[in-house]
Amino acid sequence: MSTATNTQYPISNKQWPAALQDFFLHATVQARIWKKVYAGVMHFLIFWGVAIQVVGTAINLMQMALFTPFALENFPRGNWYFAYEFLMDLAGLFILAGVVMAAFRRLALRPKSLPTAWDDTYALSTLMLLPIVGFFTESMRLISAAPPWARYSFAGNWLADILKSWGLNADTAFSLHPYLLLTHIFLALTLIASIPFTKMRHLLYGPLNIILHPRRAYGALTKIEGLETAEVLGVGKISDFTSQNLLEFDACLRCGRCEEVCPATFSGMDYSPKTLLIQLRDAMTDALGTPGKNGNGSKELPVHLFEDESLWSCTTCGACLTRCPVFIRPPERVVDMRRYQILTTGEMPKSVGDTLRNMERQGNPWGMPPQDRMKWAEGLNVRELAPGDEVDVLLFMGCAAAYDERSKKVARSFVRLLQKANVNFGVLGLDESCCGETARRMGHEYIFQVSAAQNIETFNSVEFKRIITQCPHCFNTLKNEYPQMGGEYEVMHHTELLVEMNAVGAWEQESKGDASQHPNTPAPKLTYHDSCYLGRYNGIYKAPRQLLDQAKVDRVELKRHGENSFCCGAGGGGMWLETDPNKRINHRRLQEALDAQAETVATACPYCLSMFEDAISSKGLGERIRAMDIAEVLEQQMGD
């Protein structure tokens, strides 16, 4: 078993309440499926139609002590029986309506992310035939027996009236009934028997994965234990995946929701989370489940999964994580395979190798001298903490603020805001090192663990109440991943602190951009771009918008915002990768800002800021639109 994913996910006693809640919300109510209304209605009809039919059939079989040690001798009877007949007919119509909607979507609407395979056709055909044959069987029974309660079986009774008007008599109906009943039973048993061999396996594996999926934060990757002694690092064989990972491959519905929101797929790159899961399942089936091979098939993952554009196009933005109805985690499987490439085979794109080499030698992905880490603060009189010092706020700057020229300006703006509010803060200065996020997403777990251990030791040498950082990547790592290394702290993003400061009146904003103060000058339109690691991974959507609204800017929303935000392309190491100019994700995101007629794009992430600046420069749009951090917007609006 590979140590890349050797952490299993048993359901502990503490996790069972959350597991049952997820089962109710996402397997029964199917909350995520309802994010798309048409598919939600369709799936609701099929799911509840089949569920009611299964329960109803079980009740019918239990009228005799045939499969159970008891018989339901008094249920359903009287009005309960009339309700039973009505619900069974209603369930049959639910199935028919749902299947018609599904067929229309596949044959007429034909969404690009939803290709039709043979088992899709098989499933829909079988589900269509079952209620049709069932209604005909019921109509034969009603015609031959003519019960007084027939009207409660409203669908079967309606069909029986039509057949009688065509001349079908009771004797003929009585003769046909056994054959139709046997056909109905045959179809039902065939459907059940085919579940493991078709996409209908998700009926079992989907709910099972909903119950068993990891309860750790989406922003936390698994830790490789015993890093220095492990023989194999990462995943190079299908057998290196955990049993829970393999369950994910079987649970995939092939619904394409992940693919629809994937920025790499949208931008034309050779990567799709859905395709990745399908290919991994094919590899699993070939290695472990092919008849006659007895689990002795080739366990090596296909070579094409490790191709540069396929493996390195994922930005780990998390869009697929919020869409999957059964909680599959494609980005984590990508990182598993990157770990194998980086730590076991040593094969990687040149730009990745250069970045990791910079981190090993200089302690930052820019490759800048570590002694330059505090140059951003020249002239600001920022307090550098020494071991034993005490401070309210520990400001973790991150590598972008220390070495990227554009991000240095943001850092200075934020510090001036803190100083204006008389916040008691300090920085680690030259003792601060990279948080390790970039290395971990690229697959170099060793660099991450060394960086984390070094920072935790430094953190523990000073006294502070909370850590504040401007970078969502640092924020996510410190908050969600450092606890794996023994470092548990209160961590806040700088927008959260700014909201808190504003709420207590730490400084008064004298807005220059308020159109009411300058009636002859229209305020420039500003839009806010949600950082993936701030928004989707950590749920911070309100604070940045609250700050901008309090600054009285003319704010407009992008078409895709909030949880539906579109990635800038920098995550997962994308900041450092060489990308085809025609497939750049940041160019697509900039176009959305232009479509919103925004003149300023506000960000809360140095990576996002850098990607927008790059896109603006590449397209020569510097006079039309600009990118700013929220701290810069606030400082500008407040005035000197």
Task: Please answer whether residues 366 and 399 qualify as being in contact, where contact means their C-beta atoms are separated by less than 8 angstroms.
Answer: yes
- Mean pLDDT of all residues in the chain? 92
pLDDT at 71: 83
Query: Please, which pLDDT band fits residue 516 given cuts at 50, 70 and 90?
Result: very low
Task: Please answer whether residues 436 and 447 qualify as being in contact, where contact means their C-beta atoms are separated by less than 8 angstroms.
Answer: yes
Task: Please answer whether residues 106 and 120 qualify as being in contact, where contact means their C-beta atoms are separated by less than 8 angstroms.
Answer: yes
**Strand pairing report for 525-528 and 463-469:** unpaired
pLDDT at 482: 98
Alpha carbon of 26 to those of 10, 211, 638: distances in Å? 19, 10, 46
Report the pLDDT averaged over residues 38-54: 95
Best CA proximity match to 341, nearest among 223, 255, 489, 443: 443
pLDDT at 73: 81
pTM here is 0.91
Query: Please, which pLDDT band fits residue 294 given cuts at 50, 70 and 90?
Result: low
Q: Is residue 298 over pLDDT 60?
A: yes
Q: Report pLDDT digits (tens) over 518-567.
A: 433 445 899 999 999 999 999 999 999 999 999 889 999 999 999 999 99
Per the model's pLDDT, the better-predicted residue between 415 and 5 turns out to be: 415
Rounded to whole angstroms, the Cα distance separating 347 from 308 reads 10
Q: Report pLDDT digits (tens) over 159-214.
A: 999 999 999 999 999 999 999 999 999 999 999 999 999 999 999 999 999 999 99
User: 286-293: long-range contacts at Cβ-Cβ below 8 A with a sequence spacing of 24 or more?
Assistant: 287/237, 287/238, 287/239, 288/238, 288/239, 288/246
Rounded to whole angstroms, the Cα distance separating 395 from 425 reads 7
- 221 is written with which tokens? 């990757």
Domains of the chain: 32-209 (no CATH), 221-345 (1.10.1060.10), 365-503 (3.40.50), 525-638 (3.40.50)
Report the pLDDT averaged over residues 599-607: 97
pLDDT at 147: 93
Q: Using the structure block, give the residue that is written with the tokens 């028997």.
A: 193
Q: Is residue 157 over pLDDT 70?
A: yes
What percent of the chain has a predicted confidence (pLDDT) above 90? 83
Amino acid found at 336: D
Q: Is residue 50 over pLDDT 70?
A: yes
pLDDT at 277: 96
Query: Please, which pLDDT band fits residue 292 given cuts at 50, 70 and 90?
Result: low
pLDDT at 368: 96
Report the pLDDT averaged over residues 384-411: 97
Q: Report pLDDT digits (tens) over 618-640.
A: 999 999 999 999 999 999 887 64
Rounded to whole angstroms, the Cα distance separating 612 from 569 reads 10
Q: Is residue 33 over pLDDT 80?
A: yes
pLDDT at 266: 95
Report the pLDDT averaged over residues 345-356: 94
